[in-house]
């Protein structure tokens, strides 16, 4: 399955671009988004990397916390997701309604336990999940954070389960004490709201996990550079993707130095890269590998992203 198959296959709803820092994840996500939109699919490109660069890539401020149309192209919308804002919404709901919960945790002296594990990721992911049922977009493309962060999200249903289990036990133990406190402070209703929010988030994460594991709907595209460090990191990423059953059939080997006999420095770097490329091909024989040259300009703006897209789908002539 080539990147061309993925981009032009309407049933693929989620495309994730991921890899080590600085290798070209955002550029690849932007490039696939431009092709996808130009093919007529209503496309949403989202950055979940806390160190966003989608705005720079599209030369447009996408950090406003809302989905906005990308200028200069039809069918494309974008947003940089702020997990801080998501967390703030959640915290407000907990604070507003958490009187009883807070009191309970103070009584037990274990406030730490009242914070759900990985809650900032959970909230960022919760935002993503809103788009699962959202029929306004045919496709969502994720520019993910460097290796690890995204995959950690997939452990959340289990983590939340055990956390909720603990809280329930705590509630039972304290129920009589709490009945008295509640009578004094009120807040039962708000507590229930916070409680429901947690349950809903958990359910949403579970269904997202299923969607992300469905190879008819999701494809993860790994971006790497032909250098030893990137090879190691790619191995780690691959094994996590395997563990979580996330479909992956493509590796983009980016920033290949072109031939330049007049430049000794370039030639020796090129040689190093070509040696690594042989290893990469050898390691990943079942995976579709696309080579992308190091271009003489940065990849910024729609035209430049489209140009990269053409290279990714093998139509750059």
Ligand X SMILES: Nc1ncnc2c1ncn2[C@@H]1O[C@H](COP(=O)(O)OP(=O)(O)OP(=O)(O)O)[C@@H](O)[C@H]1O
- How near is the Cβ of 87 to ligand X at its closest, in Å? 21
From the list 171, 145, 183, 196, the residue with the least C-alpha distance to 16 is 145
Within 50-109, the residues that bind Mg ion by CB under 5 A are: 53
Residue 27 sits in the site that holds Mg ion (CB under 5 A): no
Residue 267 sits in the site that holds Mg ion (CB under 5 A): no
User: Pairing between strand 76-80 and 68-69?
Assistant: antiparallel
**Secondary structure (DSSP) of 141-198:** EEEPPSTTHHHHGGGHHHHHHHHHHHHHHHHHHHHHHHHHHHHHH--HHHHHHHHHHH
Tokens of 9: 């296959």
Tell me which of ligand X, Mg ion, none is bound by residue 295, counting a contact when its beta carbon lies within the kind-specific cut-off of 5 to 8 angstroms. ligand X
Q: With left for phi above 0 and alpha for psi between -120 and 50, is residue 214 left, alpha or beta?
A: beta
Binding mask 220-259 for ligand X (x = CB under 6 A): ----------------------------------xx----
195 or 220: whose CB is closer to ligand X? 220
Within 2-41, the residues that bind ligand X by CB under 6 A are: 21-27
Tell me which of Mg ion, ligand X, none is bound by residue 187, counting a contact when its beta carbon lies within the kind-specific cut-off of 5 to 8 angstroms. none
Residue 9 sits in the site that holds Mg ion (CB under 5 A): no
Within 123-162, the residues that bind ligand X by CB under 6 A are: 146
- How near is the Cβ of 110 to Mg ion at its closest, in Å? 38
From the list 208, 52, 65, the residue with the least C-alpha distance to 128 is 208
Instruction: Report the residue from 26, 105, 190, 254 that binds Mg ion according to the rule CB under 5 A.
Output: 26
- How near is the Cβ of 178 to Mg ion at its closest, in Å? 46
By CB under 6 A, how many residues form the interface with ligand X? 17
- How near is the Cβ of 25 to Mg ion at its closest, in Å? 5
Q: How many whole angstroms separate alpha carbon 163 and alpha carbon 283?
A: 40
Residue 60 sits in the site that holds ligand X (CB under 6 A): no
- How near is the Cβ of 59 to ligand X at its closest, in Å? 11
Identify the three-state secondary structure at position 134: coil
Reported in sequence order, the residue ranges of the chain that DSSP labels E, i.e. its strands, are 14-19, 43-47, 68-69, 76-80, 139-143, 218-224, 248-256, 288-293
Identify the three-state secondary structure at position 229: helix
**Those residues with Cβ within 8 angstroms of residue 76's Cβ, 6 or more apart along the chain or in another chain:** 33, 34, 36, 37, 43, 44, 45, 69, 70
Instruction: Report the residue from 67, 73, 266, 294 that binds ligand X according to the rule CB under 6 A.
Output: 294
Instruction: Report the residue from 3, 45, 49, 195 that binds ligand X according to the rule CB under 6 A.
Output: 49
Residues that bind Mg ion (CB under 5 A): 25-26, 53
Contact residues for ligand X, defined by CB under 6 A: 21-27, 49, 53, 146, 254-255, 292, 294-295, 298-299
């Amino acid at each position: 399955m080539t990147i061309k198959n993925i981009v032009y296959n309407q049933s693929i709803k989620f495309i994730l671009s991921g890899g080590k820092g600085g290798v070209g994840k955002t550029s690849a996500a932007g490039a696939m988004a431009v092709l996808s939109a130009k093919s007529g699919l209503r496309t949403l490109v989202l950055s979940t990397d806390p160190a966003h660069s989608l705005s720079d890539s599209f030369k447009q401020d996408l950090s406003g916390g809302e989905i906005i149309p990308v200028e200069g192209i039809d069918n494309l919308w974008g947003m940089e997701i702020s997990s801080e804002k998501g967390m703030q919404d959640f915290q407000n709901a907990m604070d507003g309604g958490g009187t009883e919960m807070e009191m309970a945790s103070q009584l037990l002296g274990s406030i730490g336990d009242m914070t759900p594990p990985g809650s900032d990721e959970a909230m960022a992911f919760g935002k993503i999940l809103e788009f699962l049922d959202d029929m306004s977009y045919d496709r969502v493309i994720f520019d993910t954070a460097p290796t690890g962060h995204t995959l950690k999200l997939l452990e959340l249903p289990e983590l939340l389960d055990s956390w909720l289990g603990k809280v329930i036990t705590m509630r039972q133990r304290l129920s009589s004490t709490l009945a008295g406190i509640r009578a004094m402070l009120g807040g039962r209703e708000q507590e229930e709201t916070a409680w429901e929010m947690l349950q809903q988030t958990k359910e949403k994460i579970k269904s997202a996990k299923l969607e992300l594991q469905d190879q008819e709907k999701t494809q993860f595209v790994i971006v790497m550079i032909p250098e030893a460090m990137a090879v190691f990191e790619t191995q780690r990423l691959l094994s996590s993707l395997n563990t979580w059953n996330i479909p992956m059939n493509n590796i983009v080997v980016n920033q290949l130095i072109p031939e330049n006999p007049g430049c000794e420095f370039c030639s020796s770097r090129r040689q190093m890269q070509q040696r690594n490329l042989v290893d990469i091909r050898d390691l990943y024989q079942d995976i579709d590998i696309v080579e992308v040259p190091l271009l003489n300009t940065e990849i910024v703006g729609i035209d430049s992203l489209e140009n990269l897209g053409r290279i990714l789908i093998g139509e750059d002539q």
